[in-house]
Amino acid sequence: MNKKALIILTMHAFVGWALCAATIGIAMGLTTKQNALFIHLTLAPIFFVVISLNYFKKYNHLTPLRTALVFVSFVIVVDFFLVGLLFLRSLEMFSSLLGTWIPFLLIFLSTYLSGLATNYRRARPV
């Protein structure tokens, strides 16, 4: 993978992470923590479906599995270092299934399945 492809992939992952961060930040200010987590849980996979479809239709540098691994790894690393260590100064967020682990799984699955669907449609004659 060349540098340009890596930048494109990383920017897509960053947009997804930023949308999730904005969602949780806004929701925490408007409602309870529990409701904010459910809103985030609902919107995170939707954000990543849209981002993944854009990525696979325009660029498609990696397989769906590798793209899903990159996207979820990016989110985990940024959440760990930026959110957990720098902003919150605690890794308590990683003890929450609803707050981190289920959204991570849904981000992976939504990206992977979007890639499979896009590649499947691309391979079929229209």
pTM of the model as a whole: 0.92
Domain carrying residue 15: 3-123
For the chain, the domain total comes to 1
Per-residue pLDDT of the chain (126 residues; tens, 9 = 90+): 799 999 999 999 999 999 999 999 999 999 999 999 999 999 999 999 999 999 999 998 999 999 999 999 999 999 999 999 999 999 999 999 999 999 999 999 999 999 999 976 665 554
Assigned token pair, 8: 């494109």
Pair 94, 80: CB distance under 8 Å: yes
| Backbone torsion region of residue 89, taken as left when φ is above 0, otherwise alpha when ψ lies between -120 and 50, otherwise beta | left
**Sequence-ordered list of residues with C-beta below 8 angstroms from that of 13, at least 6 positions apart, any chain:** 70, 71, 74, 75
